[in-house]
């Protein structure tokens, strides 16, 4: 790592003499995060306080170097068409306010004040038509009348919609328009729940969830464009509140998996992209973001708590402490109980054996560091416990059941809501070892097989989720 850094410093002068083209990068901090190789669950932060500039620091004529976040500055076209080369920090402006339900929020500028309390209060949650259609189609293929009725009831339970490709982004506008109409008709404003999930070289320590962008092929710029498209859809409907989970697995990989070369190569890009995402969404005034924080069996180990809190807090503060970043999401697409009656044997050695123990351990560390310690917890597939052979087994776990229904009556002040983040029935990954996105976890003895590609419908697994739901459907 240190040798690579010295090499980087040595070649920088060759680049900074050049000018970056319009829309190109013109500066940004290279944050250095290195894992301790002989301590697999720890993270050592090596920070260059003044940072390093990656590439040219001046812009071609007709553009101005504009600071987007501490990790990325971009040559944006000058409004007057003048020469480039200067640096301008994006500021906030004052625009008229729009009433949203019982709260008041500005139009998209970044100067809004979020609700102090739980963002779910006073709102109805939108049911995504796409998942409802998947469930209805699945129920039609179930012959047992009782099971069919239970399956159909799942279509009325709110889940998050994953925007894992750019091609899906226009659907968000359709959902927001529908939610806006429903809110106006009922007199109660709506919440649309989304998952922002399209990082370049996504899922750097696995294979099943590899995405459409590559860092080596303009991935960061493509991701920024993806975020810009999400923003363009959301800003049309300021009367609809959006709750967003930001990039499952990404930041947790930077805590524990930097020994994986793909993760080490992706760390700077991940930080730049997540920073850009939360900053741009924050400007809208109606998007409450929760950064993904893995789960109890990942970052919940005592040795990981402080490094995780450091990483979340550093990113949050470097992004300017965005006021609409509400906190963290845990257990997304995983199987841990919120509050286990007894520890699952696979959790032996970790005192934080369920999500509430993890949250209660991480929350104070976050608060003391200056990060907002509020949480949402996925319980969509956590109805059955003690069914995994190892805690790290995550792929279509055999015998899983739908879990606790979404609610804001969580019983814990730190938890804003229990949610269903992973739409039950959509596959985690294929068990076909010859597939390009095959991950060995999907062929383990406790993984339901045969399984189709990640994201496609897995009928047999869905039926099991229905029949083993706890509490029952």
Pick the closest to residue 179 from 232, 95, 100 (CA basis).
100
Catalytic status, residue 203 = no
Q: Is 394 annotated as a binding residue?
A: yes
Q: Is 164 annotated as a binding residue?
A: yes
Distance CA(398)–CA(402), nearest Å, equals 12
Exposure of 141 in the CB half-sphere (CA atoms within 13 A): 11
- 375 has which bridge partners? 328, 415
Give SS3 for 307: helix
Q: Is 17 annotated as a binding residue?
A: no
23, 70 contact by CB (below 8 A): no
Given 198, 292, 354, 428, the catalytic residue: 428
> Environment class of residue 395 by beta-carbon count within 10 Å: exposed (0-12), middle (13-18) or buried (19+)?
buried
Catalytic status, residue 428 = yes
Given 198, 249, 416, 439, the catalytic residue: 249
Distance CA(256)–CA(172), nearest Å, equals 33
- Say how many Å lie between the first and final Cα of the chain, rounded: 52
- Please report, for residues 116, 264, 322, the alpha-carbon distance to residue 171 in angstroms, rounded to integers and kept in the order given: 30, 33, 26
Q: Is 422 annotated as a binding residue?
A: yes
Pick the closest to residue 334 from 365, 305, 299, 306 (CA basis).
299
Q: Which residues are catalytic?
A: 249, 428
- The annotated binding site for substrate is made up of 162, 164, 295, 298, 334, 394, 422, 426
């Amino acid at each position: 790592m240190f040798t690579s850094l010295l090499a980087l410093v040595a070649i920088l002068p060759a680049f900074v003499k050049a000018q970056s083209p319009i829309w190109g990068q013109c500066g940004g901090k290279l944050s250095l995060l290195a894992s301790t190789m002989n301590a697999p669950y720890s993270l050592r932060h090596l920070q260059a306080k003044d940072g390093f500039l990656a590439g040219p620091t001046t812009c071609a004529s007709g553009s101005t170097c504009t600071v987007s976040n501490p990790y990325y500055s971009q040559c944006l076209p000058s409004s007057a068409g003048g020469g480039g080369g200067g640096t301008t920090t994006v500021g906030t402006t004052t625009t008229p306010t729009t009433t949203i339900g019982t709260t008041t929020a500005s139009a998209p500028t970044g100067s809004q004040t979020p609700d102090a309390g739980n963002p779910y209060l006073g709102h109805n949650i939108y049911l995504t038509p796409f998942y409802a259609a998947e469930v209805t189609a699945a129920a039609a293929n179930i012959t047992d009348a009782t099971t069919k009725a239970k399956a159909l009831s799942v279509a009325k339970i709110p889940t998050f919609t994953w925007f894992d490709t750019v091609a899906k982004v226009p659907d968000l506008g359709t959902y927001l328009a529908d939610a806006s109409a429903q809110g106006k008709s009922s007199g109660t404003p709506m919440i649309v729940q989304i998952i922002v999930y399209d990082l370049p070289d996504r899922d750097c320590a696995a294979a099943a969830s590899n995405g459409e962008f590559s860092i080596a092929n303009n991935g960061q710029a493509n991701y920024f464009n993806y975020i810009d498209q999400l923003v363009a859809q959301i800003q049309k409907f300021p009367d609809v509140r959006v709750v967003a989970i930001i990039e499952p697995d990404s930041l947790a990989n930077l805590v524990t998996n930097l020994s994986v070369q793909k993760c080490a190569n992706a760390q700077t890009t991940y930080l730049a992209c997540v920073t850009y995402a939360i900053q741009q969404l924050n400007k809208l005034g109606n998007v409450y973001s929760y950064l993904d924080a893995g789960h109890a069996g990942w970052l919940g180990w005592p040795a990981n708590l402080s490094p995780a809190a450091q990483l979340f807090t550093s990113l949050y503060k470097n992004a300017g402490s965005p006021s609409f970043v509400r906190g963290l999401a845990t257990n997304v697409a995983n199987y841990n109980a919120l509050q286990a009656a007894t520890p699952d044997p696979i959790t032996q050695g970790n005192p934080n054996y369920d999500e509430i123990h993890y949250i209660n351990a991480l929350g104070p560390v976050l608060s003391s560091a200056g990060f907002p310690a509020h949480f949402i917890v996925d319980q969509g597939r956590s109805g059955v416990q003690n069914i995994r052979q190892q805690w790290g087994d995550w792929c279509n776990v055999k015998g899983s059941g739908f879990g606790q229904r979404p609610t804001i009556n969580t019983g814990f002040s730190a938890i804003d809501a229990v949610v269903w983040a992973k739409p039950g029935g959509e596959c985690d990954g294929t068990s076909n070892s010859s597939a390009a996105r095959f991950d060995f976890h999907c062929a383990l003895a406790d993984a339901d097989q045969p399984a189709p590609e990640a994201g496609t419908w897995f009928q047999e697994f869905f039926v099991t989720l229905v029949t083993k739901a706890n509490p029952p459907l």
